């Protein structure tokens, strides 16, 4: 799905691409950055999949695809909206034009040095889809690293070595959006050769120190996450007395702060 803004014959053009799922495209317009968004009375014509429908707006804010076009359910759709210059136009509901199925990330490769690469088969900037990397450890799929927004580029790379533990690792990439289920890829495996990870825990001195920087999670006695990151040392000075649970490598340790 894409959108663009260009000048054409004294008009502006907003282009929108997606997949028709039975919904009308909701839009709003305004005359300047300081005026409120409102219904559009500046539309000259709307072209849907190459056919000019004139002004097919319903109630001034919906491009009436469902009732005034021949577009079929789940068919790819391209909408070109010509409107008067010196106006702005925005799309309100791009998420309602997601494809029928979100496809998983593919072509995953993971090296022994922790370099992960993958490709996305659907790149729709308007939908704000993102990729999240997940490593299987602590008996669950754990999200690691930052989110990778899906835009025009379809090839992604990241080094995730600090998030991997000694021995065999399973890694996958999940495509996600605000209002859709997560779509995980087929996992890949790699064997990581690292020194054995040890952790020195000193409750009275209020610190925990790893042999080398690693990914960890720290939970309180209510099993609420209080800290997560990649560090060599965790300072516990600011935490109140109580029981904590430290997850690192393939281990889980209990800490009792006095």
d(CA 111, CA 102): 27
Query: Which CATH code, of 2.40.50.100, 3.50.50.60, 3.40.640.10, 2.60.40.10, is assigned to 106-192?
Result: 2.60.40.10
Q: Residue 186's pLDDT band (boundaries 50, 70, 90)?
A: very high
List phi, psi (to 5°) of 197: -85, 120
Residue with tokens 């609420």: 224
d(CA 234, CA 210): 9
pLDDT digits (tens, 9 = 90+) for 205-253: 999 999 999 999 999 999 999 999 999 999 999 999 999 999 999 999 9
What's the pLDDT at 11? 83
Residues in Cβ contact with 18 at an 8 Å cutoff, skipping those fewer than 6 apart: 1, 76, 77, 94, 97, 98, 99, 124, 126, 127
What's the pLDDT at 7? 40
pLDDT > 90 in the chain, percent: 80
Contact at 8 Å (CB) between 172 and 145? no
Domain with CATH 2.60.40.10 in the chain: 106-192
**81, two tokens:** 């909206």
β-partners of residue 184 are 174
d(CA 38, CA 27): 9
> In what helix (H) or strand (E) does residue 229 lie, and over which residues does it extend?
strand 225-235
**146, two tokens:** 């930052």
Contact at 8 Å (CB) between 208 and 236? yes
Q: Is 0.85 topped by the overall pTM?
A: no
**49, two tokens:** 């999949």
pLDDT over 80 at 10, yes or no: no
pLDDT over 60 at 4, yes or no: no
Residues in Cβ contact with 238 at an 8 Å cutoff, skipping those fewer than 6 apart: none
**239, two tokens:** 């935490």
Contact at 8 Å (CB) between 18 and 124? yes
What are the start-end ranges of the H helices in the chain? 65-68
pLDDT over 70 at 142, yes or no: yes
3-state secondary structure of 65: helix
What's the pLDDT at 180? 67
Burial class from Cβ neighbours inside 10 Å (0-12, 13-18, 19+) for residue 192 reads middle
The C-alpha angle with vertex 132 and arms to 126 and 136, in degrees rounded to 5, equals 160
Contact at 8 Å (CB) between 4 and 15? yes
Q: Residue 181's pLDDT band (boundaries 50, 70, 90)?
A: confident
pLDDT over 60 at 9, yes or no: no
What's the pLDDT at 116? 98
pLDDT digits (tens, 9 = 90+) for 128-140: 789 999 999 999 9
List phi, psi (to 5°) of 142: -110, 125
Average pLDDT, the chain: 92
């Amino acid at each position: 799905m894409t959108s663009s803004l260009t000048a054409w014959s004294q008009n502006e053009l907003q282009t929108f691409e997606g997949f028709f799922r039975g919904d009308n495209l909701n839009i709003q317009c305004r005359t300047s950055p300081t005026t409120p968004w409102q219904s559009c009375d500046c539309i000259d014509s709307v072209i849907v999949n190459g056919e000019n429908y004139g002004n097919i707006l319903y109630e001034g804010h919906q491009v009436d695809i469902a009732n005034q076009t021949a577009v079929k359910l789940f068919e790819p759709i391209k909408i070109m909206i010509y409107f008067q210059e010196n106006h702005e136009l925005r799309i309100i509901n791009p998420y309602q034009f997601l494809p029928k199925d979100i496809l998983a990330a593919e072509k995953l490769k993971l090296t022994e040095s922790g370099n992960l690469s993958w490709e996305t088969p659907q790149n729709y900037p308007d939908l704000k889809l993102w990729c999240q990397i997940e490593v299987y450890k602590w008996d669950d799929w754990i999200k690691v690293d930052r989110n990778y927004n899906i835009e025009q580029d379809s090839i992604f790379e990241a080094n995730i070595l600090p998030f991997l533990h000694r021995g065999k690792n399973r890694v996958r990439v999940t495509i996600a959006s605000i209002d859709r289920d997560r779509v995980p890829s087929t996992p890949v495996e790699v064997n990581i050769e690292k020194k054995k990870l040890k952790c020195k825990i000193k409750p009275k001195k209020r610190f925990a120190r790893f042999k080398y920087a690693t990914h960890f999670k720290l939970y309180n006695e209510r099993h609420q996450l209080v800290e997560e990151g990649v560090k060599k040392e965790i300072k516990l000075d600011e935490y109140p007395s109580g029981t904590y649970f430290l997850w690192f490598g393939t281990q889980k340790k209990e800490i009792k702060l006095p």
